[in-house]
A and B are shown apart, each in its own frame.
Chain A
C-alpha cells in the first residue's frame, strides 16, 4: 500500500482517505475545534460524496455515519492519506 499525502480539498467525489493531520490556522481555531468535535479526528476514514454543481465547491463528505458540507478552502486545512 502506497501512502500519498493530500489535502482534502483536492479530492473528488468517490475518493476515500484517512485523516492524517490538520494545518493550524490562527483565525480558524474555533472551526478546527468544531471539526474535531463532530468527528474529524486523525485516523478516521473520510469519503467525498458530492460537490456542488459547476463551481465544484462546496463539497460533501461522509465521516463516520454523518454527511457534512465544507468548502474546499477549509477542506485544504485537513491533510489526508488516500486509500489505494
Chain B
C-alpha cells in the first residue's frame, strides 16, 4: 500500500499539556526541525520530517498542547483550526496515561471533531504502571476505534509500534467516524456546552470501567516534594537560590564562548582585509558594515542559550509552575498575572523570546501589560554598554568587604530596570488596562527529569529565532547605518571624516533636543544606529570618536578613556540611565507589534519608553551637574 502514502503526508501531533508531546516529537523525528508558520496563523509551530516503516517520508507538525479543542488561550486557538485543515493527512494524539479520565475525554473530543486517520500514543505508561494502573488496551481500542500504543517517549519505548500503527491507519485511509454525540451546533449555548462536556465524561467513565482493570494511586511523590518547594520559608529560599544560580551561570559560563565568537569575527574581518584585490570601500562595507553588526549581536547567543537551557530544564522539571504558584499573589499586587514570570525571566536574556512566550497568558489585557513592560527588563544587549560606561565613569573603589562600586552599580542598573518594569505594569493596569484580574488556572505537573534531547531541541528553536533576527533586521540595519556614517565622503585629508556624514547631520539635527539631558551631537550620532540594537552603541561610539581598531582587545579600554576625557561625569551618568529605559531595539518593537497585533500599543511602547528615558536622564543630568 506504499503508493497510497503521499510522500508529503502531513501528520499533526496533538496532545494535552504535560503529556510528553515534545519528547515524542523529538524521538519520532530524527531530522532537523523547522520553524514553520502553519496555516497562516501567527503562532509559530515546529515541524520536522520522519520516516514510516515502509520508508516513505512524512512531515510531523507539532501543534500547541491543549486541554480541549474549545480554545481558552490563543495558543490553543490554533489547534481546532489546524485539525480542520485540508492538507492534514493524519494525527498522532498524545495523552497522559496517568490521567486516564482526562485523557479519554480529550481523545473522544478530538476523534469526534475530525475523521482523519489517527493513532494514540498512551504516553508515560511506565509511570501509570508504577502507580498501579492497569489498562486493557484491546477494550480501549475497540471502544475508541483507533489504534492505541502505550509509549514512554523519554525512554523511546513503543516508538516502532507507534510508527507501524500510524502507517496502517494511514493506509486504511478514512477512519470510520462514530459520531459519538451527533452533529455539533455552530454556536452552542452554555448549557449545551456543559452537557456536551458532561456526556464526554460519562462516555469516558463507561469506557474506563471496562478498560481500566486496576486504578493506580495519585502522585504522592511529587506531593512530598512540594511540601518543600511550596513551603513558606524553604519555598522562597529555593526559588531565590535557583534564580541566583541561573544568573551566575548565565554570566560566568558565557564568558568563554563569547570571547571565542569575538575572536572568530575579528579573524574573519582581518582575513577579508587581507585581500588586496577587494576595493577599500567594499572591504569597509563587508567588515564595518555587515560583520561588525552581525558579530556584535551574535556574541549574545551563548548567554541566551545558557539562560534558556536553564529555563527549559526548570520548565520540563515542573519547577516553573511552582514558581508561578509562589509568585502569583505578589505579582498580582502590581497587576501582573503569575504566568508573566516566565516571559519576564526570559527577557533578562533577550526581549524577543520573552515577548514570544507571553502568549501562554490567557487574557489579552494581561498579555498587553506584560509585553509593554518587557523592554525594561535588562536584556544581555545592555551589558556591553553598561560595562563601557561604568568602566569610564564609576571609580572601582572598594565599598565594603571587597564589594566594589562598579559591581554594585551594575547590580543597581538591573534592579532599577526591574523595579520600573513592575511600576509601569501597575500604572498600565491602573489607568489604561483597568478591569478585574482574570482567573489563574494552571496545572502542577508531576516532577520529572527532563530529557536532554528535548532541552536541546528547545534551544535549537530559540537559537533559530535569534539567528533569523540577526540575519534579517540586524544585518539590514547594519548596512543602512554603515551607509549613513560613510557617506557623503569627506574631502581628502580630514581628521574626522565622519563629521561630514549623514549620521552627523542627524546628530546635529537632534542636538537641541538632546542638550538638556547632556548629550552633544556626537552622542546623538551614536544613538542613531542603536535603534537597530543597543549593543551597536559601543561600536558606534568607537566609530564616532574614531578609536583606532587595529588592536581590538584594547579597543574598549581606549574608547573608555576617550569618552572619559570628552564627556563630563553628568553626561556619562545620563547616558547610562538613558540605556536603562530607551526603546533601542527594532526587533523588540516588531515582535511586540506582531504578537499583540496592534500598531497602537507598539507606538505607545515607543512613546512611554522615550518619555521615561528622557525624564530620567534629565533628572540624572541635573542632579549630577
Contacts and interface: CB of A to CB of B under 8 A. Distances in A.
A68 B442 CA distance: 6
Interface in A25-55: 27-31, 33-39, 41, 49-50, 52-55
A67 interface: yes
Interface string B243-275: 000000000000000000000000000000000
Given A53-B230, A55-B330, A65 B218 contact: yes
A38 B99 CA distance: 10
Nearest to A59: B325
A41 B439 contact: no
A49 to B, nearest CB: 6
B439 A28 contact: yes
B326 A70 contact: no
Contacts of A57: 328-329
Contact of A58 (B102, B105, B236, B329): B329
Interface residues of A, number: 33
A53 B231 contact: yes
The A contact surface, by secondary structure, is: mixed
A67 B442 CA distance: 9
B201 A66 contact: no
A39 B101 CA distance: 8
Interface residues of B, number: 45
Interface string B326-367: 101110000000100000000000000000000000000000
Contacts of A41: 198, 201
Contacts of A30: 72
A52 to B, nearest CB: 6
Nearest to B446: A67
Contacts of B105: 37
Contact of B197 (A33, A49, A66): A33
A51 to B, nearest CB: 8
B211 interface: no
B235 interface: yes
B172 interface: no
Interface in B195-215: 197-198, 201
A52 B70 contact: no
B328 A36 contact: no
Given A64-B102, A66-B102, A68-B444, A55 B329 contact: yes
B440 A71 contact: yes
B230 A70 contact: no
Contact of B236 (A29, A53, A71, A74): A53
22 contacts: A27-B436, A31-B439, A35-B441, A36-B197, A37-B67, A38-B102, A39-B201, A41-B198, A49-B226, A52-B328, A52-B329, A53-B231, A53-B232, A54-B329, A55-B329, A57-B329, A64-B99, A65-B99, A66-B102, A69-B321, A71-B440, A73-B439
Interface of A: 27-31, 33-39, 41, 49-50, 52-55, 57-58, 60, 62, 64-71, 73-74
Interface of B: 67-68, 70, 72, 98-102, 105, 190, 193-194, 197-198, 201, 216, 218-219, 222-223, 226-227, 230-233, 235-236, 321, 324-326, 328-330, 338, 436, 438-444
Given A34-B441, A65-B219, 14 more contacts: A28-B439, A33-B193, A34-B67, A36-B198, A38-B102, A49-B226, A53-B230, A66-B443, A67-B219, A68-B441, A69-B321, A69-B440, A69-B441, A70-B441
